Structure 1
């Protein structure tokens, strides 16, 4: 109870707070109507604002004497009249120092009363001079620009306005430049893209804050109170204003719904709320699209429009402040204005061909800051005139092909996509614009993923080596017509969301497009094949044993020729790396490079002459012996070392790997344990781990658990049985978190120490499942099949999580099963792992699992995996 407040007054305040809280709760309940698409979202927000206003004025009158020289203002979003369910109620009390001191107790009573009523008040008490001082922080000034009087006389309003005029603080140019930099920094925090899986509706690129920033700039630069006033000033087109208003209303409804479903102030549209919000907003699943995907597509498209129009308006504000500069002609049709590309004719464009000419000119200029705002607006207005390619004349189609063959083709396609021209020309691309897939594998919308793939292809063409890709810059120059690969990249995912196999549907689209644009049958067939089989190399490399000559022969047969192989390799690298920043790693790079090299050799040899296992073994043995000989190891010792190694290793392993393992065995006996770790050749961060040890129960599980504890994720494991009961285990691992780089010698010491002790004591680390994985649960799929003589193939598909492999191998250990080979593949939230396993009979023989043993293992794995979901 504030000092000086009588008990009766305190009781009255408590009763008032209860009544006020009930009124506010009633208003909050009424906000549910704002989720109805037919409801006026502005009216819903204004109604809540009015209720809050009434309670604040009532509290003010209750606590503050009528003649007190104090004034109350709403500031920030509340001052703007947009009070979302869980937004702060930001207040400013304007009072000179003497008045602040005299009424300190009354103000304390006021703020206590408001909190008791359930109003999340944020307040500042400042004099005029203190307002000026605080407004040196542009964030404070921005809040003051939104000031709305709640209990203030005209003199107080004038006092506050005079304190924040541009003549006193933050003149127009300084304010504009600061807010523009603030906007750019804010965008950078979100990766300069609105296409995040969990976008921030308020602060993210294309979000509500972007629209508010334009309004603040208009207020300071043009002296207008709202964006609509810019139309009369020629700074904003009526169509642009209408578009911004539509997107603002959509974003506001999403934000309102997010606050309601989250039950708290939440601006990030997290997976926790996406499905629930889509349902509350009335979206329904269809055969081709989930409700949540429809809702998110609406958001991404709205954000893209806000960004597009926002860029134009920022440029106009800049011109308003700095003035127009003398244009610099480029040719008869285009010029540079202050570094921006502009059409010289005010009536541009008259024909669609002039739109393509704009992009051709742009591609030929290296010093362009962007598209001039007037030309950008003219382009937007002319988009309906741009026909779909199926309806265009041959000359226009030839123009488009020339864009692909001209300078900066990927940059041109990206510009066309972002400005809406590509979606007009290829309607199928428009359909995937803003389309998200509700999983963790695809972290971008389909159109943004496509542009990322094209950007990767452009990097291959740059001639600058990139350590992420071992061979891409060597392969690119061999392409006969690079534009064919660009077309394959453009169409590879264009049929997502239609139902059916997107590769097959996209191949049909690609053939129709290529034929319509006059490509030869051979070129058309190549693009069509690449789109249809764009996943072939990725699946082969990650799910099959590319050390097996039969696997290489099957893949080479499917590819059939060197030209397809070159194109498919580059497309696969660009596709995986463009799916998620975290998906591409050194192991995948090495895997694809090895598959490419092996297939190239198979094609050179001729598909009618497949490599036999004994030939591969002899070639590897000879090459490895030469490497060891170069180290000074005598030939007789080399043969002794090779005799201790499993024969299948020569058939499946690389020569350098065999030589490294053989050298590691020097100085050891058959019963010794030897651990060696080295960086994986040609990669960054990946390690190769070799373990030679007497076979014993729990060995594989102990190795996996130790590597997991060391922060390493296993990508591939091979467990080979050597002579005299020894095992030769080889692992290829990458850091589980990209910022971690475990040293090879440290991993080697930790693993050797673990294997020298009690294996039973080496257990998996228990971890909490990451929040985001809880929303992408995959029902475990456990299958068994024959894996050659004497082995069972265990396939496991389930939700990925930290420590999954360690837990699975622990189950195999508990079931007294041995692992002989493992391939670990992770696709976002989806883990797809394959193991070759055996059981050991009483007589010591290893055999495949019978039906009862398979069922017991299936139940144990389900218990392990289901336990994480509970």
Structure 2
């Protein structure tokens, strides 16, 4: 299936130098092969007595010189196929000379031996498509019937004189030794072996043996149940594509195995070879299985991907098929994209790449369909796929608006169906949705050919707008239809602004998909909200149920990133402006447009809010309520944020974030619903908790202690601290006071620590109750770091009698819940060292850091860091009456300790911390206040000094200013 990006992008490789650099004159492949062979004859002719060291040195020199020549051809712009073929012919020439020398050595000691052997290339090497650092797959083929002991000496000589040389040259070689009979037996039992042998190519040795094997193998694969082979290949395709999300548009595509990758092309040819006896894509055209334009796009796409792969191998200096963000700028430059702006260079290159990959995917799917139809024919007669289609069309069951519904598949009645009424190009998708039907391949092809018929007049018609709106107003069934509309290019015709998102790489470190596919993924998540029985979706479905138009969120999600075509920065505001024109064209009611535009403009607001603000503070909910304005906006933002995050990357959403998100939603909804009454409700709730705690009669806890606890703590403590946690804190305070009364001065400094696993949210809660003192937070954070634990978030609260209750939400890296008893014990010891013995923890943090691979610690999954710089922002949030620090930086061991220590050194305490790490990037927020509570207000000069200090910690050049 193909996206419209291919029709817009693909002309580039044909005439734009960025995608196809100007080529210098190069020799035809035959001349290059002949030259390599001549060089091999001159440089690799050995006497029988030549030492292995001498032969290895000659081989190294030959490989170096010839490889340099191939690299020159690659840089000059030679095609991917040509460079891969030269690499294959280079290995052919090397193996031919090594093989000849090997046989001469063997025959010197086995003059009477009549054993023959053929050296055969398999896999990519067999196709003469050997990438620079790919494996070299070899098979030593022997005649059937020769006893193993008779060929053992020959096999050992082959290993010593050929394989060891190849390995010493640094080549990665896969090899097998088979008799003809063994080759057939393995092909029958293993589909991978059968496929590998389809590409068997003679290199040197007994050519007659190879020819007889090749002819027999052709007879075998054409007659030995080709339908079963095709079925297995189709299953393999589906499984492989599923691993890559069934989309070409991953931000970091796998050139070989990904959707639209080289394997899609190869799989199609393998199926065709087994079914039809063809070898090349040109053969499929000759047999009417590929149209001329399909052949052109198929072959050009494959060649382009081969060239990208060759470039990636050369740059990586290893067998690398993952075109990740780090390598994309380098590959783009080598492919001829020279724009001075790195991101522009990458975007231009990746659009071309996606266009070619999507053509491979589309045409391979077409071939799979056509070959699968042929494979269903009767055993005694071979029909073409067109004959099968024609026969199936005779079995009509129902007519719908000029289309034929047969079972669950829609086909066209005649090829002029869209000429007669172009609006059918939109209505067909509504029919498919209502009938729960798919479109047959011929209908899909006709839709692509008919795209120019979607004129401005069609787009502006009430009927087209109504059909499109109806698609978006069918909860639970929207994603499949929109995805197919996008694949076939219709969505970009209805909404021209959408086209600019197609194939657009998003240079944000947490995105896995291109902008268009990300958007569609968010719509898939909304389908699940409406239909899934999984518990996580139910509360979001309930939130939407209380809005007047729950399905309106489909339109919001479709347009929420429409502004990204002009850049990531301020894309939400730009998207709201662009959406205004689109909504008018779609004839959306003005009262509804306001909701859509509000959510688009503010779609990042809610996640940013709970990532940095203290949700226990009652002022936070009031602040957010003022920004959302009403419960409708809030409900749409709530569900939108959930779908947006899950549509970005599967790992981006977890139970911890879901808890924060839902807490903000519920407290804000309460603030919007109750208004001024919310404070009274909180007071009533607090009093109920106090009475219940008294009624519990907690051992050793008097009613007076409970009363004191409630009097000595701020109101925000009681908002989201549940009664069991309050009871725990009461016991811990009681234990601390007992210790203070029963021990000496040093013993009184030891904290009381409690560990509790939160199974539902996948983290461990560490409560620390101790005598409050300056720098407590950074010392506790340092102790957790030394113990090898990661902090997700922290709550810091102090009673007015100077007892601190600090709560840390932590995980054991790679495992979630803290299961290591050693880590817990180390934390206890380290806390005692820091709080009682006043030992500086930083030297130990540094020592641990040095034990780790510094490149791993400092690397992030955001190689294009220009879009995510290290920053420090310090500001007063007047609505909350808080001074806030926001830090984003590449994460590393001890970062939090350094930040918190600097905050303390500048005369501030941390009253709240939200710690977040995404793919190697730390995003931390701190509320700070004066260590000296007698000081009124925070000194601006001190804040400036603090910001400079924090900036030096994360990056040596300060990036932001202080805002007041």
Paired with 1:798 and 1:167, the residues of 2 have a C-alpha distance of: 58
Paired with 1:288 and 1:114, the residues of 2 have a C-alpha distance of: 39
Segment of structure 1 superposing worse, 319-328 or 552-561: 319-328
| SS, match of residue 833 in structure 1 | strand
**Is the counterpart of residue 450 in structure 1 residue 519 in structure 2?**
yes
With over 3 angstroms needed to count, the CA separation of the structure-2 counterparts of 1:861 and 1:539, relative to structure 1, is closer
**Is the counterpart of residue 429 in structure 1 residue 498 in structure 2?**
yes
Match of 2:203 among 150, 163, 171: 150
**Is the counterpart of residue 280 in structure 1 residue 319 in structure 2?**
no
**Contact 1:675/1:751 (<8 A) preserved:** no
What does the per-residue CA deviation read over 1:16-56, in whole Å, with 9 as the maximum and x for residues that have no partner? 55444434333322334565695333223223333333333
Match of 1:517 among 559, 572, 586: 586
The match for 1:93 is 140
The match for 1:199 is 253
The match for 1:385 is 453
**Is the counterpart of residue 483 in structure 1 residue 535 in structure 2?**
no
The match for 2:796 is 719
Greater relative contact order, per chain length (Cα 8 Å cut-off, separation 6+): 2
| SS, match of residue 597 in structure 2 | helix
| SS, match of residue 587 in structure 1 | helix
Shift of 1:542: 1.6
| SS, match of residue 566 in structure 2 | coil
The match for 2:372 is 318
**Contact 2:789/2:810 (<8 A) preserved:** yes
The match for 2:179 is 127
With over 3 angstroms needed to count, the CA separation of the structure-2 counterparts of 1:272 and 1:177, relative to structure 1, is same
With over 3 angstroms needed to count, the CA separation of the structure-2 counterparts of 1:578 and 1:508, relative to structure 1, is same
Paired with 2:215 and 2:695, the residues of 1 have a C-alpha distance of: 84
The match for 2:274 is 220
Segment of structure 1 superposing worse, 282-291 or 221-230: 282-291
Structure 1 residues not aligned, in runs of 5+: 1-5
The match for 2:194 is 141
Shift of 1:472: 0.7
Shift of 1:159: 2.2
**Contact 1:674/1:752 (<8 A) preserved:** no
**Is the counterpart of residue 61 in structure 1 residue 111 in structure 2?**
no
Paired with 1:424 and 1:250, the residues of 2 have a C-alpha distance of: 27
Shift of 1:691: 2.7
Shift of 1:465: 4.5
**Contact 1:84/1:256 (<8 A) preserved:** yes
Paired with 2:219 and 2:93, the residues of 1 have a C-alpha distance of: 29
Match of 1:256 among 310, 318, 322: 310
Paired with 2:474 and 2:177, the residues of 1 have a C-alpha distance of: 62
| SS, match of residue 486 in structure 1 | helix
Paired with 2:706 and 2:538, the residues of 1 have a C-alpha distance of: 31
Match of 1:359 among 425, 429, 433: 429
Shift of 1:577: 2.3
What does the per-residue CA deviation read over 1:518-561, in whole Å, with 9 as the maximum and x for residues that have no partner? 11111111111111111122222222233334433332222222
With over 3 angstroms needed to count, the CA separation of the structure-2 counterparts of 1:853 and 1:339, relative to structure 1, is closer
Shift of 1:474: 1.2
Shift of 1:273: 2.5
Structure 1 segment 476-555 matched on structure 2, within 5 A: 476-499=544-567, 501-555=570-624
The match for 1:582 is 651
Match of 1:564 among 633, 645, 663: 633
Shift of 1:252: 0.9
**Contact 1:688/1:730 (<8 A) preserved:** yes
Paired with 1:389 and 1:493, the residues of 2 have a C-alpha distance of: 26
TM-score normalised to the size of structure 1? 0.87
Match of 1:823 among 914, 922, 941: 914
What does the per-residue CA deviation read over 1:744-793, in whole Å, with 9 as the maximum and x for residues that have no partner? 99998876676566544866553443544483656543344568999964
**Contact 2:251/2:506 (<8 A) preserved:** no
What does the per-residue CA deviation read over 1:613-668, in whole Å, with 9 as the maximum and x for residues that have no partner? xx57634422422543563569x955632423576632354254366324531444
| SS, match of residue 258 in structure 2 | coil
TM-score normalised to the size of structure 2? 0.79
**Contact 2:79/2:307 (<8 A) preserved:** no
After superposition, the CA RMSD in angstroms is: 3.9
Structure 1 segment 40-55 matched on structure 2, within 5 A: 40-55=79-94
| SS, match of residue 116 in structure 2 | coil
What does the per-residue CA deviation read over 1:847-866, in whole Å, with 9 as the maximum and x for residues that have no partner? 96785796478447735767
What does the per-residue CA deviation read over 1:244-303, in whole Å, with 9 as the maximum and x for residues that have no partner? 222212211110100110112222223442332222223245769442343334334433
The match for 2:489 is 420
**Is the counterpart of residue 832 in structure 1 residue 923 in structure 2?**
yes
What does the per-residue CA deviation read over 1:435-489, in whole Å, with 9 as the maximum and x for residues that have no partner? 222342222221121112111211221263533x573121121232233211110
What does the per-residue CA deviation read over 1:63-99, in whole Å, with 9 as the maximum and x for residues that have no partner? 3359863223222111211122112332223222367
**Contact 1:792/1:837 (<8 A) preserved:** yes
Segment of structure 1 superposing worse, 435-444 or 704-713: 704-713
**Contact 1:470/1:589 (<8 A) preserved:** no
Paired with 2:863 and 2:221, the residues of 1 have a C-alpha distance of: 53
**Is the counterpart of residue 775 in structure 1 residue 875 in structure 2?**
no
Paired with 2:753 and 2:457, the residues of 1 have a C-alpha distance of: 61
Paired with 2:586 and 2:783, the residues of 1 have a C-alpha distance of: 57
Paired with 1:288 and 1:22, the residues of 2 have a C-alpha distance of: 37
The match for 1:3 is none
**Contact 1:714/1:733 (<8 A) preserved:** yes
